[in-house]
Structure 1
Amino acid sequence: MNQRIDHHPVLGSLGDRKQLPFYYNGSVYTAYEGETIAGALLAAGVRTLRVHEEKGTPRGIYCNIGHCYECRVHVDGVPTVRACMTLVQEGMQVNAGSLLPTPLKKGGHGA
């Protein structure tokens, strides 16, 4: 599913930009040179980039400017990389953030 804007009246056309293959959860996707992981996945119809660490609920792109950390993914084995701030590199391996054990215990401070 391609939802990418190929021509924008202000930003111009994507036609002259190099296509970069990369992997997300083992599947091949295509980005354009200068495109972020979040932008490339959004254009491909991917909405869930990780799950909440404790609840397992889906998370995706929220602010898209690097403030909220909702788009954290694993890139080439490095955890908690912000997809909205990271440019795609050819052949990069991106994986969704996964459910982690909770550090919080019931009855503890703030519970």
Structure 2
Amino acid sequence: MNPHNARIEHHPVLGTLPPRKTIRFRFDEMIYEAKEGETVAAALLANGVRTLRLQEEKGTPRGFYCNIGHCFECRVTVNGKQGTRACLTLVEDMMEVISGKPFSSPLKKGGNHA
């Protein structure tokens, strides 16, 4: 059993979720469990993962913001495809997900960025 399982299995209004197949996926070299039909974002949240990438220039952590596909804060690399939104992508068995890393910045510290 996952000690970080934060899934809502029973809701007072919606009732109990039907049983779903458990699948596994990889995020940054770690294996996690997901339920079939979950998005990558939902599966990571249920497993206690809150940081999906680091901001490209400053390296500050970024995670889930809107969780409905409007923003691009949850960009990850899925099976080699960069810039994939975790909140819109259904997790697949043994899917490879890699967090976003900072890029080399062309901006120099202290320079004019106007």
TM-score by length of 1: 0.89
State the identity as a percent. 54
Paired residue for 2:14? 10
**Cα distance in 1 between the residues matched to 2:47 and 2:72:** 21
In 1, Cα distance between equivalents of 2:90 and 2:24: 12
Describe the SS at the equivalent of 1:38: helix
Deviation at 1:11, TM superposition (A): 5.7
Residues in 2 aligned to 1:81 and 1:22: alpha-carbon distance in whole angstroms: 16
Question: What is the 5 A alignment of 1:3-82?
Answer: 3-8=6-11, 9-10=13-14, 12-14=16-18, 16-82=19-85
Q: CA deviation at 1:103?
A: 4.3
Secondary structure class of the residue paired with 2:44: helix
Kindly state the Cα deviation for residue 2 of structure 1 after the two structures are TM-superposed: 1.2
SS at match of 2:42: helix
| Runs of 5+ consecutive residues of structure 2 not aligned to the other structure | none
* TM-score calculated relative to the size of structure 2: 0.87
Partner SS for 1:97: coil
Q: 1:82 to 1:13 in 2, by over 3 A?
A: same
The one-character-per-residue Cα deviations of 1:31-88 (angstroms, maximum 9, x if unpaired) are 1111000000001110000000000000000010111100000111111100001000
Using the alignment, how far apart are the partners of 2:53 and 2:95 within structure 1? 17
* RMSD over aligned Cα atoms: 1.4
Q: Name stretches of at least 5 consecutive residues in structure 1 with no aligned partner.
A: none
The answer to whether the aligner puts 1:90 opposite 2:93 as a matched pair is yes
Partner of 1:3: helix, strand, or coil? Answer: coil
Count matched residues.
108
Whole-angstrom distance in 1 between the partners of 2:26 and 2:42: 14
Deviating 4+ runs (over 6 angstroms): none
